[in-house]
Amino acid sequence: NGEFHGLAAVVTGGASGIGLATATLLAARGARVACLDLRPEVPEPLVGLRADVTDDASVRAAVADAAERLGGIDILVNNAGIGALGGVEANDDEEWHRVFDVNVVGMARVARAALPYLRASDHAAIVNTCSIAATVGLPDRVLYSATKGAVLSMTRAMAVDLVPDGIRVNCVNPGTADTPWIGRLLSGADDPEAERAALEARQPLGRMVAADEVAGAIAYLASPLSGATTGTDLAVDGGMNGL
Ligand code: NAD
């Protein structure tokens, strides 16, 4: 039972962090869930499927496989993404193309592959994992912010186009969310524990956002509870955007 009873969801980047937390929450509320990831090891009842969002053939095969195993697709959580640090001089053309290919083109590829299935659903929703970097200038994150700005614009434009198909499209803007991603960033510091404490102290709420809290926002935008909401972004940032 639960609000996702009878619905099928695909979550990209679903084997870690925000994606895994979202897949787990949707499954707990009744959805059948497939996690598409480079390393798709996920606990039951989640279905792990290997996919690289930068490879169109891989995306098409995994989305078709997911639809067959789940009996269709009602919800797409476009969440796979990678980071990039530095100012405008920090990354060369190759790196710009590489990060855009994952964070922006990757989401378009998965949406393209999933749309035929979503059109057949009476409860279709796409939720893209964007970032507060799309709406607030953050230090040392020019390339990453540019990709997330593109995700926000793509979300709004897709929402307009897909109204006639009954498919809602929204995004969430996490602030600093405590996932393995942040763990990898902190592990590069001289004193990771001190760096973690300093990072927490810089957050308006005095702590990072939990992956489960981002998952809650994604689940809301994926569920019929948000049936009148499309083309919007929901910040889950502990107040970064406003306090
Ligand atoms: P994470 O590194 O824990 O998880 C990301 C997952 O995406 C991994 O399992 C990885 O294998 C997968 N992935 C990466 N490249 C892929 C590819 N080419 N094909 C398929 N899968 C791929 O990170 P996370 O923190 O959970 O981040 C998830 C999303 O949240 C990203 O889009 C990220 O930009 C966004 N986000 C994170 C934060 C944060 O503070 N953690 C803040 C804002 C936005």
The CATH number that applies at residue 156 is 3.40.50.720
Q: Quick one: what percent of the chain has pLDDT higher than 70?
A: 100
Cβ atoms 72, 15 nearer than 8 A? no
Going from the Cα of 65 to the center of ligand 1, the distance in angstroms, rounded, reads 22
128 domain residue, yes or no: yes
The mean predicted confidence, pLDDT, of the chain is: 97
52 domain residue, yes or no: yes
12 domain residue, yes or no: yes
Report the pLDDT averaged over residues 14-43: 98
Atom of ligand 1 nearest to the CA of 17: 26
Number of structural domains found in the chain:
1
Give 185-232 pLDDT, tens digit per residue.
999 999 999 999 999 999 999 999 999 999 999 999 999 999 999 999
86 domain residue, yes or no: yes
SS3 42: coil
Catalytic residue status for 144: yes
Percent helix / strand / coil, the chain, rounded to 5: 45, 15, 35
Give 92-133 pLDDT, tens digit per residue.
999 999 999 999 999 999 999 999 999 999 999 999 999 999
| Residue 67: DSSP 8-state | H
202 domain residue, yes or no: no
199 domain residue, yes or no: no
CA distance 227 to 167: 10
Give the pLDDT score at 85: 96
Q: Is the CB of 114 under 6 A from ligand 1?
A: no
Give the pLDDT score at 4: 97
Residue type, 152: L
Report the pLDDT averaged over residues 61-85: 98
Closest residue by Cα to residue 14 from 30, 32, 33, 37: 37
191 domain residue, yes or no: no
Give the phi and the psi of residue 165 in degrees, each rounded to 5: -90, 0
Supply 120's token pair: 């057949």
Write out the residue range of the structural domain in which residue 88 sits: 8-177+210-235
**Of 83-87, 152-156, 182-186, 234-238, the least confident:** 182-186
SS3 175: coil
Atom of ligand 1 nearest to the CA of 181: 2
- Res. 142: pLDDT tops 80: yes
CA distance 126 to 169: 5
Which H or E run contains 60? helix 56-70
Q: Is the CB of 54 under 6 A from ligand 1?
A: yes
Give the pLDDT score at 242: 78
Give the pLDDT score at 243: 75
185 domain residue, yes or no: no
Atom of ligand 1 nearest to the CA of 13: 7
pLDDT band of residue 1 (cuts 50, 70, 90) is confident
Supply 223's token pair: 């569920």
ipTM: 0.99
